[in-house]
Amino acid sequence: MATLAVPETIPSASEDAEQIWKACKGWGTDETAIITILAHRDATQRKIIRLAFEEQYKENLIMRLESELSGDLERAVYLWIFDPVEREAIIANIAVKKNIDYQAIIEIACVNSPKELLVVKEEYHDRYKRSLEEDIAVHTVGDFRQACTSEFTYRYDGDETDTAVVRLEAKTFHDAIKSQTFNHNEVIRILSTRSKAQLCATFNYYKDEYGIPITKALTSESPNEFALALRMAIRCIVSPQKYFAKVLQNAVGKAGTDEDALTRVIVMRAEKDLKVIKEMFHKRTNATLKHAVGTETCGHYNSFLLALVGN
Amino acid sequence: MATLAVPETIPSASEDAEQIWKACKGWGTDETAIITILAHRDATQRKIIRLAFEEQYKENLIMRLESELSGDLERAVYLWIFDPVEREAIIANIAVKKNIDYQAIIEIACVNSPKELLVVKEEYHDRYKRSLEEDIAVHTVGDFRQACTSEFTYRYDGDETDTAVVRLEAKTFHDAIKSQTFNHNEVIRILSTRSKAQLCATFNYYKDEYGIPITKALTSESPNEFALALRMAIRCIVSPQKYFAKVLQNAVGKAGTDEDALTRVIVMRAEKDLKVIKEMFHKRTNATLKHAVGTETCGHYNSFLLALVGN
């Protein structure tokens, strides 16, 4: 389901490193050469190229690329070159430092499986010498703090569901939405501690029982920021692909393109499920993602994203 | 630092299983034989004995012992026979079902290292098909819910401390204590997300700056249940051994002995640091733990605890 296209035969990491070094040497940078290599290597291959570059040229490849590239291309290549776990730890840290980008935080907390999330948290510890929850808690207050830090709970990952709990908790959501008390402690408790399978069963029951999807019910009246965040978390839990297709639609649909969101989704999902997200994007918008990226971006940044989006 | 005494040469697991089976056979039970074996085998040996028993007699050893033993001895042997990780998951579950035993929950959350706690949480998932935080959240409300579930955050485990943060957060504690607002969001945030090294530095600074240990300051006026829980968490973080010595002191010091606490601490720590806890107990009370257990308990329960406490 990935869109990343790695050629059947590729040069050795040492040769790739040499080509990148040549592309960086002297005045100017050969962005095309860099993109042709890096946008067509998987996470393991990129890691080996980084090591080979460091070994051969006694220089950190990431820092070299940061000095050679600029703007949206620099940011995109910077995120891409890491493996998925390193990348999500970095994205989380950027989100925290932005004081605070809730969307990126909620995506990481709610899209990953409990085991995946745990590895991201460990990477965060190693990299920043603090815990991710610690940094989020410092940069948030009140309901948002409680909701955001709670979402990093180590959920149960099994498929079992408890029907009695489903009924009870669907009603809890319904009562909270009816009285517009989204920050209700019980809402946060359920959303942050129940397993994804249990939550999906609850949301399905909600739709059957109350005749409206919970994500619509949450925002049927003029929604506040907190209700929107809850809806986002639910979407990430229920169907990450559908959620990311919507993020891409928003990113290219605005008057000005949201390059940060466009980069984040394409880079994060190219090695995972971007193929499915592309199909959903197509269904939603009647346009291909390739076409949308083609019209909304330009230059080497455009080439890089298109290489990741694939054909 | 453990008190568990395993003989230099021990029978094979198969022979141990046979002796336990003989001790259980027919009318009556030979508790002494069971204690002589199980109280002198380490976690790995006990696990192999369980497997050998099941293999040889097609019967679950734990269920057999539950039907053969009773009262405090049954509960103590039941907890002892598991390995430390299984045991803590079981203790946590018993604490949750007691609706809710905060002390046992706080001990597990705050005494274990982040990595140890993670393994306990994984065992809890496997065993109960729910997450520990999920069960705690269901059985708690308000400040206690927030505080208890937060304490299970995956903290950073390094030794680095940030002096500026130390000063700032010692003052936050001081202000909260001064205004008797222990449930202040910032207090819970600091206590539940900061690394243990950072917290210890903060509490040391607190003592130097304000002339009183934070644990004393917390309870200097008539403390409510929440302030007592905070103090317990701080003690577990700063010095688990000192904390457990105090729990033992309370358990044997009351008019009626608190067998649950006595069992929990001795069983949990016999393979870890009970030797240090015993010394601290001696210093605090001028009596040996052996003597205290000897006078406060009787029968086979007494023999079992004394075997674990060691000489």
Range in A30-44, B148-162, B171-185 with the lowest mean pLDDT: B171-185
Q: How far is A70 from chain B (nearest CA, A)?
A: 33
Q: CB–CB of A146/A191 below 8 Å?
A: no
User: Could you say which of A235, A256, A273 is where a domain stops?
Assistant: A235
Q: What is each CA distance from B133 to A99, B110, B122, B150, in whole angstroms?
A: 27, 14, 11, 9
pLDDT (0 to 100) of residue B1: 85
CB-based burial, B276-307: b 16+ in 10 Å, e otherwise? bbbebbbeebeeebbebbeebbeebbbbbbbb
pTM of the predicted protein model? 0.90
Q: CB–CB of B270/B3 below 8 Å?
A: yes
d(CA B174, CA B242): 23
Which of A 245-274 lie inside 8 A of B, CB atoms? Answer: none
Sequence-ordered list of residues with C-beta below 8 angstroms from that of B55, at least 6 positions apart, any chain: none
pLDDT tens for the 311 residues of chain A, in order = 899 999 999 999 999 999 999 999 988 899 999 999 999 999 999 999 999 999 999 999 999 999 999 999 999 999 999 999 999 999 999 999 988 899 999 999 999 999 999 999 999 999 999 999 999 999 988 888 888 888 899 999 999 999 999 999 999 999 999 998 877 789 999 999 999 999 999 999 999 999 999 999 998 887 888 999 999 999 999 999 999 999 999 999 867 899 999 999 999 999 999 999 999 999 999 999 999 999 999 999 999 999 999 87
pLDDT (0 to 100) of residue A254: 63
Q: Are residues A217 and A274 in the same domain?
A: no
| CA atoms in the 13 A half-sphere facing the CB of A28 | 4
User: Could you say which of B223, B238, B253 is where a domain stops?
Assistant: B238
A291 backbone φψ class: left, alpha, beta (φ>0; ψ -120 to 50): alpha
State the Cα angle at B210 between B176 and B110, rounded to 5°.
60
Sequence-ordered list of residues with C-beta below 8 angstroms from that of B148, at least 6 positions apart, any chain: B100, B102, B105, B106, B109, B136, B140
Q: CB–CB of B70/B300 below 8 Å?
A: no
| pLDDT value at B201 more than 90 | yes
Query: Which structural domain range is residue A184 located in?
Result: 163-235
In chain A, where does DSSP find H-type helix? 13-24, 31-38, 43-57, 61-68, 71-81, 84-97, 102-111, 114-128, 132-138, 142-150, 163-178, 185-193, 196-210, 214-218, 225-238, 240-253, 259-269, 274-285, 289-296, 299-309
What is the chain B residue with the closest CA to A134? B193
Q: Which residues of A touch B131 (CB under 8 A)?
A: 153-156, 193, 195
Question: pLDDT tens digit string along B76-101?
Answer: 999 999 999 999 999 999 999 988 89
Q: Which residues of A touch B134 (CB under 8 A)?
A: 153, 155-156, 193-195
A138 in reach of chain B (CB within 8 A): yes
Q: Which residues of B touch A154 (CB under 8 A)?
A: 118, 121, 125, 131, 133, 152, 154
Q: Does residue B289 fall inside a structural domain?
A: yes
B189 contacts A156? CB cut-off 8 A: no
| pLDDT value at B300 more than 90 | yes
**Which residue in the set B129, B155, B158 is minimally distant from A160, CB to CB?**
B129
| pLDDT value at B28 more than 90 | no
Q: How far is A223 from chain B (nearest CA, A)?
A: 25
d(CA A65, CA A88): 19
What is the chain B residue with the closest CA to A130? B156
Q: Are residues A113 and A133 in the same domain?
A: yes
| CA atoms in the 13 A half-sphere facing the CB of A80 | 31
Q: Does residue A153 fall inside a structural domain?
A: no
Which of B 69-128 lie inside 8 A of A, CB atoms? Answer: 118, 121, 125
Report ipTM (2 d.p.). Answer: 0.86
The residue behind tokens 């040391």 is B204
Q: Which residues of A touch B142 (CB under 8 A)?
A: 185
| CA atoms in the 13 A half-sphere facing the CB of B129 | 7
Q: Which residues of B touch A158 (CB under 8 A)?
A: 125, 129
Which of A 165-224 lie inside 8 A of B, CB atoms? Answer: 185, 189, 192-195
Q: Does residue B6 fall inside a structural domain?
A: no
Q: Does residue B1 fall inside a structural domain?
A: no
| pLDDT value at B253 more than 70 | yes
Which of B 140-159 lie inside 8 A of A, CB atoms? Answer: 141-142, 145-146, 149-150, 152-158
Q: Are residues B227 and B255 in the same domain?
A: no
User: Could you say which of A186, A207, A235 is where a domain stops?
Assistant: A235
Q: Are residues B232 and B244 in the same domain?
A: no
Q: Which residues of B touch A192 (CB under 8 A)?
A: 137
Which residue out of B130, B157, B194 would a mutagenesis test of the A interface target, given it has the greatest number of A Cβ atoms within 10 Å?
A: B130
Q: What is chain B's Cα-based Rg? A: 21
Q: How far is B157 from chain A (nearest CA, A)?
A: 8
| pLDDT value at B254 more than 70 | no
Question: pLDDT tens digit string along B64-77?
Answer: 999 999 999 999 99
Q: Which residues of B touch A121 (CB under 8 A)?
A: 154
A160 contacts B134? CB cut-off 8 A: no
A189 contacts B131? CB cut-off 8 A: no
Q: How far is CA B5 from the centre of its chain?
A: 20
Q: Does residue A75 fall inside a structural domain?
A: no
Q: Are residues A46 and A89 in the same domain?
A: no
Indicate the DSSP class of residue B179.
T
Q: Are residues A250 and A305 in the same domain?
A: yes
| pLDDT value at B111 more than 70 | yes
Total count of domains within chain A: 4
Q: Does residue B171 fall inside a structural domain?
A: yes
| pLDDT value at B182 more than 80 | no
Q: Are residues A251 and A230 in the same domain?
A: no
Q: Are residues A247 and A229 in the same domain?
A: no
The CATH number of residue A200's host domain is 1.10.220.10
pLDDT (0 to 100) of residue B127: 97
Q: What is each CA distance from B17 to A153, B10, B40, B308, in whole angstroms?
A: 41, 12, 14, 20
The overall longest dimension of chain A from CA atoms, in Å, is: 68
Q: Which residues of A touch B195 (CB under 8 A)?
A: 130-131, 134
| CA atoms in the 13 A half-sphere facing the CB of A238 | 18
Q: Are residues A20 and A57 in the same domain?
A: yes
Q: How far is A194 from chain B (nearest CA, A)?
A: 6
Q: Are residues B167 and B229 in the same domain?
A: yes
Q: What is chain A's Cα-based Rg? A: 21
Q: Does residue B76 fall inside a structural domain?
A: no
What is the chain B residue with the closest CA to A121? B154
Q: Does residue A1 fall inside a structural domain?
A: no
